[in-house]
Amino acid sequence: MTVSINRRKAIAGIAASTTTLFAPAVLAQTKPRVIVIGGGFGGASCARALHAGGMAVTLIEADARYVACPFSNLVIHGSRDIGLQTFGYEGLRKSGIDIVIGRATTVDTDRKNVGLADGKTLAYDRLVLAPGIDIRFDALPGYSEAAQEIMPHAWKAGTQTLRLRRQLEAMDDGGTVIMSIPANPYRCPPGPYERASLIAHYLKTSKPKSKLIVLDAKDTFSKQRLFQNAWKEMYDGILEYVPLASGGKTTEVIPAEMTVVTEFARHKGAVVNVIPPQRAGAIAAAAGVADRSGWCPINPVTLESQLKPSVHVIGDASIAGAMPKSAFAANAQAKHCAAAVVALLGGETSPSPKLINTCYSIVAPDYGISVAGVYQPANGILADVPNSGGASPVNASAAFRAQEAAYADAWFTTITAYAFGNA
Amino acid sequence: MTRFLTAAVFCLLPFLASAQVAPPGAESCGGCHGVPGTALPALSQLKSDQIAIAMADFRKGAREATVMDRIAKGFSEPETEAIAKWLAAREHRP
Ligand SMILES: Cc1cc2nc3c(=O)[nH]c(=O)nc-3n(C[C@H](O)[C@H](O)[C@H](O)COP(=O)(O)OP(=O)(O)OC[C@H]3O[C@@H](n4cnc5c(N)ncnc54)[C@H](O)[C@@H]3O)c2cc1C
């Protein structure tokens, strides 16, 4: 077992003397080793913050290229190149983080090691899991790995995003597009409604005889009034929204017939986008940190698993109380998680977090809206700070909406620079 | 020997940096602020009292905002002041 440095002693040492309290060799040997699994917004950000905090960090990521989901709805809209969504790990590697491209397949929380698909085993003092989501192919009758090629979810960005874009482009003017939206919880609560808005905008401007039917397994959703006002204003007659109460819940999909079955009806589409139910990335269950819901319960102060010691879970995979599953939240949790890990490995108590989330949505070009929240531990969860946060004002000028769209773009630049940049 | 000493200092610097543990919430501000040249205002030119005053104005609704009013309401005055001090100290580091 690696011995971690007592941080306070180390600092006292440096302040008291510039000579011999610690020999470099000893320091090198005793740097605590932290493994991060998953190089998305959560994992990449955490690796960076842990490294800045003096840990020896190994980041295990399955793919050499990361394709970001935020703003991928604009790729589907046809107004953004997927190249702008794509990032590598060179910046992290250059900063001194050990990058391992490969899939983690096992976690032994007793022996504290991670097994890779290629048979290698890596030991850790603490582990951070940030595997994002997996699609639950067992949850929606008719939906499967084969079905996703016909009815793309595009809920992991990359080939799925491009597939949906191409299908929309290839569709005849007059064709019907169908979207199926799941019940909570799922990645990016406002994401489906942003996508519906942007598909409607594409149809309005490029396929004016077409229609979009949005089938939802719920009756209420994030930024609902803002979205619905905008739909009325801009997409009346194009976008038809069917909530749970009107039979919006998808019960089955039939890819061979391009049909979505709901409690009340059958809908046939020329393009069908199924956003299926999800769970934490499979490695979470393999590590024993996912509960029966498929997600990972965590301590709201340390973001440590409630099920296994020395394992922290951040980002979409975690049950983060009132915090939504967003890139913004994953990044905020990552930075706090790093502080908690550094403190705990130094034998100190973890600081208590206060976290922010903001999700911007683009409803049309130059038309952005947002929802913000501030969170802190209360009653065992990350709870909303009372009387804070909320959505953009309902009555705002076009200039205000344009300003938020510009801020959304700036946010993407900032967050991806933090996670993947060279800075 | 000096070379070894330099190495030792480098090894410890990150620990020193993290010793100035960010006050609660401060790291989250970096989700939007911190990369120069975007539409979002940089905080690097602001002194800590300027940040604290701006936050107080946002909280009270005395300053126009698209989102800062909603965020500032989540922080008390002492929390804001601690964040402002930490941000200013960090941003002004060479
Ligand atoms: C259409 C859409 C729009 C969105 N828009 C926004 C937005 O505007 N703002 C916002 O804040 N959020 C947005 N989101 C949500 C955001 O994408 C996610 O919340 C965010 O990616 C979560 O980060 P994460 O690190 O938890 O997971 P991810 O970013 O998914 O990263 C997980 C990583 O782990 C890797 N991995 C998984 N298992 C293993 C393993 N066993 N071994 C090795 N590597 C592994 C994966 O390859 C992946 O790279 C959007 C999502 C979608 C789908």
Spatial distance between the Cα atoms of A3 and A97, rounded to a whole number of angstroms = 20
Residue B20 has which token pair? 């100035």
Residue A290: the pLDDT is 98
pLDDT: is A22 or A102 the higher one? A102
Which regions of chain A carry the CATH code 3.50.50.60? Answer: 7-135+279-351, 147-277
Task: Assess whether pLDDT exceeds 50 at residue B4.
Answer: no
Q: Other CB atoms closer than 10 Å to residue A16's CB: what's the count?
A: 9
Are the C-beta atoms of A284 and A129 separated by less than 8 Å? Answer: yes
Residue A422: the pLDDT is 81
- CATH tag, A147-277: 3.50.50.60
pLDDT digits (tens, 9 = 90+) for A259-284: 999 989 999 999 999 999 999 999 99
- CATH tag, A7-135+279-351: 3.50.50.60
Share above pLDDT 90 across residues of chain A, in percent, rounded to a whole number: 92
Interface test with A, best of B28, B43, B58, B80 (most A CBs within 10 A): B28
Task: Assess whether pLDDT exceeds 90 at residue A22.
Answer: no
Backbone phi, then psi, for A366, in 5-degree steps? 60, 25
Task: Assess whether pLDDT exceeds 70 at residue B11.
Answer: no
CA distances to A272, A412, B24, B49 from A195, rounded to whole Å, are: 13, 17, 34, 41
Phi-psi region of A35 (alpha: psi -120 to 50; beta: other; left: phi over 0): beta
The domain ranges of chain B are: 24-90
Closest approach atom of ligand 1 to CA A314: 26
Spatial distance between the Cα atoms of A331 and A391, rounded to a whole number of angstroms = 20
Q: For residue A110, what pLDDT band results from cuts at 50, 70 and 90?
A: very high
Average pLDDT over residues A295-320: 98
Bridge partners (DSSP) listed for residue A116:
A104
Q: For residue B12, what pLDDT band results from cuts at 50, 70 and 90?
A: very low
Q: How far, in Å, is the centroid of ligand 1 from the Cα of A194?
A: 17
Cα A254–Cα A257–Cα A261 angle in degrees, nearest 5: 45
Spatial distance between the Cα atoms of A241 and A235, rounded to a whole number of angstroms = 11
Task: Assess whether pLDDT exceeds 50 at residue A85.
Answer: yes
Task: Assess whether pLDDT exceeds 50 at residue A5.
Answer: no
Name the 3-class secondary structure at A396.
coil
Task: Assess whether pLDDT exceeds 50 at residue B5.
Answer: no
Residue B20: the pLDDT is 64
- CATH tag, B24-90: 1.10.760.10
Task: Assess whether pLDDT exceeds 50 at residue B94.
Answer: no
Residue A91 has which token pair? 């910046």
B-contacting residues of A 294-353, CB under 8 Å? 328, 331-332, 335-336, 339, 342-343, 351-353
pLDDT digits (tens, 9 = 90+) for B51-77: 999 999 999 999 999 999 999 999 999
Task: Assess whether pLDDT exceeds 80 at residue A7.
Answer: no
> Which of A22-36, A249-263, B26-40 bottoms out in mean pLDDT, i.e. has the lowest?
A22-36
Task: Assess whether pLDDT exceeds 80 at residue A387.
Answer: yes
Closest listed residue to residue A389, CA positions, set B53, B2, B28, B90? B28
pTM value is: 0.93
Task: Assess whether pLDDT exceeds 70 at residue A28.
Answer: no
> Which of A20-34, A147-161, A197-211, A269-283 bottoms out in mean pLDDT, i.e. has the lowest?
A20-34
Average pLDDT over residues A50-60: 97
What is the residue whose two structure tokens read 């003397």?
Answer: A17
A-contacting residues of B 35-64, CB under 8 Å? 35, 38-40
Q: For residue B21, what pLDDT band results from cuts at 50, 70 and 90?
A: confident
Give yes or no for A103 touching B (CB within 8 A). no
Residue A30: the pLDDT is 76
Are the C-beta atoms of A161 and A155 separated by less than 8 Å? Answer: no
Q: For residue B44, what pLDDT band results from cuts at 50, 70 and 90?
A: confident
